[in-house]
Every structure is written in C-alpha cells, then in structure tokens.
Structure 1
Amino acid sequence: MIKRVFLFIVLLLVICYLVAAVTLFNRRPAGQVCRDVELVIKDTANAGFVTRSEVTALLQKKGIYPVGKKVERIHTKTLERELNKHSLIDRTECYKTPSGKIRIEVRQRVPILRVMNDKGENYYIDNKGTIMPPDAKCIAHRVIATGNVEKSFAMRDLYKFGVFLQNNKFWDAQIEQIHVLPGRDVELVPRVGNHIIYLGKLENTEQKLERLKVFYEKALNQVGWNKYSRISLEFGNQIICTKWGE
C-alpha cells in the first residue's frame, strides 16, 4: 500500500514538472515584439494565384501586419479572418512561435478545369465545385471545357468529371478538351491521336474510359493512333469507330 502511494506521488511530481517545463518553455518575455513573419503558401504548383507580396500588402493595408507589434497584442484570428476574405484563398492558419515570430499558412483555391463557353464566359471551377473569379491566373495545365456549358452543369457534372480526370494520371495527361454539345452530350479531344472521343452523357464515364484505355492498348497500338476520326463510347459495352473519309 505504501509503495503504491509512493509511486503515485512520484508520478504526480513528474507530471507537475513536465507541465511546468512546457509552460516555462512557451512563456514569452513581457513586451516581446514580433520580429518576423513566416509565410507559407500551399499549392503553388497547381495554383500560384496568391503571392507573398500580396499577402503582406493586404495585412499592411488593414494595419494588422504583425512585424514590430507586441506579440501579446497580435490576434491571430483577426489575421486569419482578413486573409480568408481574399477571393483566391481557401483557408488560412496563423499562430505565434516561442521565438516571437508569426507563422501564416495560406491554402489557395485549386482549379480543377477551365470553362470557355459559347457565350464568351471564361472562368475556372475550383476543387470545391465553385466558380473562381475571372482574374484568376492558373499556372498549371487544366482541361478546358468549351461549347454549350451552363454554369450549373459546370459546377456539378463537369466538376465531378474534372475531379476524376485529376485523380487519374493517364486520363489527366491524355484529355486536353471537353466539348459540350446541345443536350449536354460530351465529346473529348485527346492530346495523342487525331480523333474525337464521343462519350454521350456524362454517365458511367469511368467504365467508358476504362474500355477505351483497353482499346488503345490492344488496337490503336497495332493499327495506329490516327486511323480513326471518331471513337464512340456512348452505348453499353460497344466501341464504335469511324475511319477517316467515312
């Protein structure tokens, strides 16, 4: 019994010591001034919309740029709130470091596809299925959707198809353009091969494209990629090919 009490007291003292050590380690000197901002912008390979100078300028304009201010008076939630108002920022996380710096991590909105329709509209659909502002400039390749593209169709059906393409390395590299016909039938323009892929409705697209991939491997690799002008995947398990001149 005495041994158990002794072990309990030792364990309690160790816990108290660790709590005190962590508290002292994280304690900042009174009046500590922020001396630097560590700014990390995520998704620069796929987006590249938001720059370091832009974030700095935005915070300076609002009068809340942290450098030179007392750390205890800097409200990280205020920084997050103001940066999250930016139309090209998805979310922001800000926190203070023991050394007196403010770390800001910015996640940008990532475009899935670009729409350039018959109405002359030009915009991106992002990774959440919402329309990005027209001033967004994407540095990464994104498939282009043309033709009879309504915004509702782009934000729902084309968005889902764009996510599928982005998550599939083969088709993301192969498909260059999505063309929407009247009635929302869809054609695809590939990067390799001088043919048009007719999907029909955006239904069972994964299965349709899987059949086409097998056809590519077993047929086109033998007869040549430019033999057909049109490859239709519209019906069931069929692949209907049209030769040039037919």
Structure 2
Amino acid sequence: MKINWNYIKAFALLILVVFLYSFSAKRHATRNLKSVEVAFTNGENLYITENAVNKLLIVNPDSVQNVSKEILVLNKLESVLDNHDMIEDAEVYLTVDGSLGTLITQRKPIARVANKKHFYIDTNGKKMPLSANYSARVPWVSNISEKEIAEIFPLLKKIEKDEFLTKHITAIDRLENGDYKLQLRTLDFEVLFGKISAIERKVDNFKAFYKKAYIDKKLDAYTSVNLQFENQVVCTKK
C-alpha cells in the first residue's frame, strides 16, 4: 500500500499548531498583569477617583503585578463596578500588552434635594448619594420626598437640556398644594410654575416674557411671575 505522505505531514502540522496554540494560550492566561488602566468617559472623574476604582477591583499599582490573569473574571469585575453608587456603566477588558483596562461612565446629577439627608437626582431620575470628592452645581430642590422624584423629574430634565433655564434657575420649591416655585440666580422675582404639566408651553411663555422685559429694561420691576395660566404670563409689580 502506498503511503500518502502529504496527509501525514498535514496531520502532523495540525497537531503542532494545536499544541503551540494551547501552550501560548496557557502562558498568556497565567501571565501576571502588567498594569491597570482606568479611563473615564468625557475625561471626567468628578465623583469617583481612579484610586477608588482600583480598590473596587481589589488591585492597586503596587500589587497588580502579582495578580494572574487566569483568576480574573471580567464580568464579575464589571458587576462590582456597576453596583457602585457613583458609576452608571463600566467596561472591563484585557489589553494585548497584558494590562487590565477599565472604562468608567459616572452617574450625572441634575438636582440636589435638600431633605433631612441630602441627595442628588441623576439623569435617569434615580436617587444618587452625595460625593465626598465633588459638589455638583445643580438646582436645589426642597420639600419633596423620594416618592415625588418621578413627579419633578420631567422639569429637571427640561432644565438640564435648556441652556437658558440652566443659566437662570438655582432652586425649586414644592409648595403644600403641589405647585412648584422657581428661584432665579440674579433676578429679584420668583417664578410660580404651578403643577408639572404643559412644561414646554410654560417655558416658552417665560422666555417670551423675559425677552420683552429685558428689552424694556423692566426685569427689576416685578416680585413674581406666574406661568400657570393658558397662553399668558401674569406678573406682580413691586
């Protein structure tokens, strides 16, 4: 019987490739980590520091070389980071040069609630604790409970997205009847917003009033501006 040496060579080559791949993969898995690289989306690490992220990973620059890559479970590390009060999303990965990479997206507060224990409301309408590292410059909200976060959230989102409102509104107060009152940064009058309804119409009416009063140089002539009524702004003069 004639031996087909081509088949034998091909089979031997396949075995060699599998062996080398397995050997390489094993060495790669057991190789110690070179370093930990922490990055933040938008380059911001206002509410949680790089050192705090390292501690969550149970890794720091002094001991990272002693951690074998085969003991790392990336999904578990991501879960640990995602459960942190200041983190909205985390990605954990291994780089080709043997580093552990993390990409952190922090939660973003859009209001601060002045309750018995202060807390933030974030961009998703969730309660967020204050940070020891940074104090956000956001409107203060008073006289609301946690169950009323959902009620005020549409107004807070509108303020966050609107440059004019962000510039002028510094505080929001919920009155006993469920109406809301807005306080402004530099103007000496209060804005009676009413219930959290018809937000777009009320904001448009307020902007139209502000523009006309600014042109007429009468912004200092009022004690209050009421936006509750349909298609009109009712002002109280000093």
TM over 0.5: yes
Q: Whole-Å Cα distance in 2 between the matches of residues 44 and 144 of structure 1?
A: 26
Instruction: Could you tell me which runs of 5 or more consecutive residues in structure 1 were left unpaired when the two chains were aligned.
Output: 1-23
Q: Which residue of 1 aligns with 2:158?
A: 164
Partner of 1:193: 187
* Equivalent-residue separation in structure 1 for 2:34 and 2:43 (angstroms): 26
Question: Could you say which residue in structure 1 is the equivalent of 2:136?
Answer: 140
Cα distance 1:41–1:54, how it changes in 2: closer, same or farther (>3 A)?
same
Query: How many aligned residue pairs are there?
Result: 213
2:124 to 123, 128, 132: 128
Contact kept? 1:37, 1:67, Cα under 8 Å: no
Q: Deviations over 1:170-215 (max 9, x none)?
A: 1111111111110210111111321111111111122111111111
| Aligned match of 1:74 | 72
Secondary structure, counterpart of 2:144 in structure 1: coil
Deviation at 1:76, TM superposition (A): 1.2
Aligned to 2:38: 39
Q: Give the Cα–Cα distance (whole angstroms) in 1 for the partners of residues 59 and 35 of structure 2.
A: 18
Q: Does the 8 A contact of 1:116 with 1:145 survive in 2?
A: yes
Match of 1:183 among 169, 177, 184: 177
Deviations 1:26-74 (A, max 9, x none): x7654432111110133665x7111111111232279xx7543233432
Asked if the contact 2:47–2:131 (Cα under 8 Å) also holds between the matched residues in 1, the reply is: no
Larger-Rg structure = 2
Mapping for residues 16-27 of structure 1, pairs under 5 Å? none
Counterpart of 2:113, as a letter, is V
Q: 2:205 & 2:65 partners in 1: Cα distance?
A: 58
Amino acid at match of 2:221: K
Q: What is the TM-score of this pair, normalised by structure 1?
A: 0.78
Structure 2 runs not aligned, ≥5 long: 1-20
SS at match of 1:79: helix
Supply the distance in 1 between the matched residues of 2:192 and 2:179 (Cα, whole angstroms).
8
Cα deviation digits, residues 8-36 of structure 1 (max 9, x gap): xxxxxxxxxxxxxxxx9xx7654432111
RMSD in angstroms over aligned alpha carbons? 2.5
Q: What pairs up with 1:1-246 in 2 under 5 angstroms?
A: 30=28, 31-42=30-41, 45=44, 48-60=46-58, 66-117=64-115, 120-134=116-130, 138-146=134-142, 148-153=143-148, 155-244=149-238
Scaled by the length of structure 2, the TM-score of the pair is 0.80
Residue 69 of structure 1 aligns to which amino acid in structure 2?
V
**Quick check: 2:192–2:227 contact (8 Å CA) kept in 1?**
yes
